[in-house]
Amino acid sequence: MNETTSQQHQRPVPSGAQPEASDNPLLDFAALPRFTAFDPSQVAPALDVLIAQAREALEQVTDESVPLTWDDFVEPLDEATERLARAWGIVGHLNAVADTPSLREAYNANLPRVTQFWTELSQHEALFARYKAFAAQPEFAQLSAPRRRTVENALRDFRLGGAELVSPARERFAEIQERHAALSQKFSENVLDATNAFSLYIDDESRLDGLPADAREAAREAAQADGRDGWKFTLQFPSYLPVMQYANDRSLRETVYRAYATRASELAAAPADADERAALDNAAVIDELLALRAEEARLLGYANFAEVSLVPKMADSPQQVIDFLRDLAQRARPFAERDLAELREFAAERLGLTELESWDLAWASEKLKESRYAFSDQTVKQYFQLPRVLDGLFGLVGRMFSVDIVPDEAEAWHPDVRFFRIEREGALLGQFWLDLYARASKRPGAWMDDARGRRRRGSEVQTPAAYLVCNFQPPVGGRPALLTHDDVTTLFHEFGHGLHHLLTRIEDAGVAGISGVEWDAVELPSQFMENFCWEWDNVRAMSAHVETGEPLPRELFDRMLAAKNFQSGMQTLRQIEFALFDMRLHSEYQPGGERPGSGVQALLDEVRREVAVVIPPAWNRFQNSFSHIFGGGYSAGYYSYKWAEVLSADAYAAFEEAMAGPDPARAVSETGRRFLDEILSVGGSRPAIDSFRAFRGRDPQLDALLRHNGMVEASVAESHA
């Protein structure tokens, strides 16, 4: 889940009541969502029914006459809240991938109602008391491990939800939740609208020198769609990135970089109207979000919001996270400094750039990589046609986990969306939608979200369903969509999240799949899958040149492999910069400043001085579009990417060890089965560290991550210093 994850509700709720069909698709849980029948006007009426039903169930299970058993106490409320969560999940998903004014209006109008209900539920004294009594019974020990884990998580979430607060703190906590939800939504809307507000039309073709043919063609088609001649460039990533990597026109790169780096800020290039630009400025939104989070932490008895955020995570304290990040930064710094020195020397000697600006970095790096390794990302891109990549991905997953992935049919929200099912020996395990192309109505980034979870109901098992979303360049010029190798890695990453959700064997939805998994472990399966993008057999199987059909040559792959850790030091420090900024922001920052956002900027500048080797311009407003921590669920959790990378690298090392043995095919198959059994299938039914130990036979170690990133020598050198 690069941009967002499926853990968007305040507490995990099970999936899947099966009532009769309804004219309102949001009230029809008999099958998969009916997207083609959806209209924003249906949102409010559906919520009227579902919230009323949930409150009725709440009243039922808090009646003292109801026995404190799983079937009588837990299930009825879970049934009702699951239906509400599924319906609202459809609305939220469509709001992210098919934004329209009417849908946005309906979403924002009803967001306070939904937030209020979940807050009321998390603070319900009688329900909390009954959960505590349920857990205190001798019979509780006889429940299955997943059910005990579900109840333990619920008790934790009650405490984090303010159930132990008394008036007026209780009411203030509820106000904070409602305002926080509205601000997070506003942050995301501002980023989307600011991204869409910018467009640059180029009439002089000479300014496009260096741009790949497919990027030019996409820009021409975009201009034609607006009834214009020439070429249109936007801040959508498939348009933005080729300019930064390949455009030889330095002023073009600067213009596009400045627009991207100042999105949703007071310095934004678009919209041109000052009032509209101010309305999209996220600085004040950030300040208020941070103030609300700090206040929430104080109400709950914590020193800061980072402590609250870490309660359901693997890490013990903010300081432990900060120490981990600083240790990793120290190990990476020698490589990052070498990377930058090499880039500066190359730019001065070969490109005539005595000063490297931020808008030069990607372009100069691409030139250096081409010079050193004799290939470009654009060359590699011609070999990765999306249909072939999907076949390769599905084949790999099939071999590793003994499943089949085949096309299926279901309603979708856009003609480009495809639908598939995962089977084992003909039995349905799960289904998923693939929405892979960028468009103006869709939020940036890539993510997996759940449509419904696995759950047993009587003699039947509800199978899970997932949304897999990316923002790749659509097909142009009548050819299949082409992916960069980074795009391929992103697809494998999100599919790893999907496998975690879809291959679970747990039948209690609160801990099935990704539900209940510690946030800093949820990236383990996704980052684990990325490693297979660097295995020759897999790459060869999923590559075919768009013109000749020939697979990627081994000699080119070897050069890609040699370049795998190109600038890994700089890239590692960049991620640490974001993670350390996030953790310090939520553990020590005090909101306030001369102008909105000034204090946040000052802290980010301080973090950059500590760990970065590349300092962006003073006008860079990265934080104003940092959706992970202000519009998604990664606040005081962005470090999860680096920590999960430790877990995933160490887990993949088990496959490397298997492949080095006398019977690689059998060993890899057996290792894949263990990964399925001990990581994917158990979901959140036990602590993530226990799952890792069960798979690896020991605690995680940093060695594999350092080795995979080419940083072993620096680490060893430092240890002997």
- Mean pLDDT in residue range 302-320: 96
The pLDDT confidence band at residue 703, using thresholds 50, 70 and 90, is: confident
pLDDT at residue 3, as a whole number: 41
The total of other beta-carbon atoms located within 10 Å of residue 425's CB is: 7
On whether the CB atoms of residues 552 and 315 are closer than 8 A, the answer is: no
Tokens of residue 211, six digits:
């741009």
User: Kindly report the CA angle at 534 between 530 and 535, in degrees rounded to 5?
Assistant: 115
| Closest to 651 (Cα-Cα) out of 549, 494, 521 | 521
- The beta strands (E) that lie in 541-616 are given as none
If one compares 1 and 533, the residue with the highest pLDDT of the two is: 533
Q: Which residue ranges does the chain devote to CATH 1.10.1370.40?
A: 381-509+534-562
pLDDT at residue 4, as a whole number: 37
On whether the CB atoms of residues 454 and 488 are closer than 8 A, the answer is: no
Tokens of residue 223, six digits:
């201009």
| Closest to 468 (Cα-Cα) out of 517, 425, 529, 516 | 529
- Mean pLDDT in residue range 340-366: 97
**322 vs 325: CA distance, rounded Å:** 5
| Closest to 446 (Cα-Cα) out of 415, 486, 403, 409 | 486
CATH fit for domain 381-509+534-562, picks 1.20.1440.20, 1.10.1370.40, 1.10.10.10, 2.60.40.10:
1.10.1370.40
Share of the chain above pLDDT 70, in %: 96
On whether the CB atoms of residues 385 and 546 are closer than 8 A, the answer is: yes
Write out pLDDT tens, residues 506-524: 999 999 999 999 988 999 9
pLDDT at residue 6, as a whole number: 35
Q: Name residue, tokens 């047993």.
A: 456
Rg (CA), the chain: 25
Tokens of residue 295, six digits:
């206040």
**636 vs 33: CA distance, rounded Å:** 33
Write out pLDDT tens, residues 226-282: 999 999 999 999 999 999 999 999 999 999 999 999 999 999 999 999 999 999 999
The catalytic residue positions are 494
* 3-class DSSP state of 16: coil
Share of the chain above pLDDT 90, in %: 89
- Mean pLDDT in residue range 669-697: 95
pLDDT at residue 667, as a whole number: 85
Tokens of residue 527, six digits:
């980052």
**454 vs 465: CA distance, rounded Å:** 8
Write out pLDDT tens, residues 421-468: 999 999 999 999 999 999 999 999 999 999 999 999 888 999 999 999
| Closest to 376 (Cα-Cα) out of 484, 491, 476, 473 | 484
Tokens of residue 677, six digits:
């059994």
If one compares 677 and 15, the residue with the highest pLDDT of the two is: 677
The pLDDT confidence band at residue 593, using thresholds 50, 70 and 90, is: low
pLDDT at residue 719, as a whole number: 34
Q: Which residue ranges does the chain devote to CATH 1.10.1370.10?
A: 283-375+567-638
Mean pLDDT estimate for the chain: 93
Class of domain 25-163: mainly alpha
- Mean pLDDT in residue range 526-550: 95
pLDDT at residue 8, as a whole number: 32
Q: Name residue, tokens 């795998």.
A: 564
Q: Which residue ranges does the chain devote to CATH 1.20.1050.40?
A: 25-163
* 3-class DSSP state of 233: strand
CATH 3.30.565.10 fits 283-375+567-638, yes or no: no
Tokens of residue 232, six digits:
């249109």
The sign of the CA dihedral 621, 624, 628, 629 is positive
Write out pLDDT tens, residues 161-191: 999 999 999 999 999 999 999 999 999 999 9
On whether the CB atoms of residues 263 and 196 are closer than 8 A, the answer is: no
376 exposed, middle or buried (CB, 10 Å; 0-12, 13-18, 19+)?
Answer: middle
**339 vs 359: CA distance, rounded Å:** 17
| Closest to 351 (Cα-Cα) out of 360, 359, 339, 338 | 360
pLDDT at residue 574, as a whole number: 97
pLDDT at residue 623, as a whole number: 98
The structure's pTM equals 0.92
The pLDDT confidence band at residue 713, using thresholds 50, 70 and 90, is: low
* pLDDT of 498 higher than 90: yes
- Mean pLDDT in residue range 630-647: 94
The pLDDT confidence band at residue 669, using thresholds 50, 70 and 90, is: confident
> Which residues touch 166 (CB under 8 Å, ≥6 apart)?
none
* 3-class DSSP state of 26: helix
* 3-class DSSP state of 697: coil
* pLDDT of 297 higher than 50: yes
- Mean pLDDT in residue range 286-304: 97
| Closest to 410 (Cα-Cα) out of 102, 90, 681 | 90
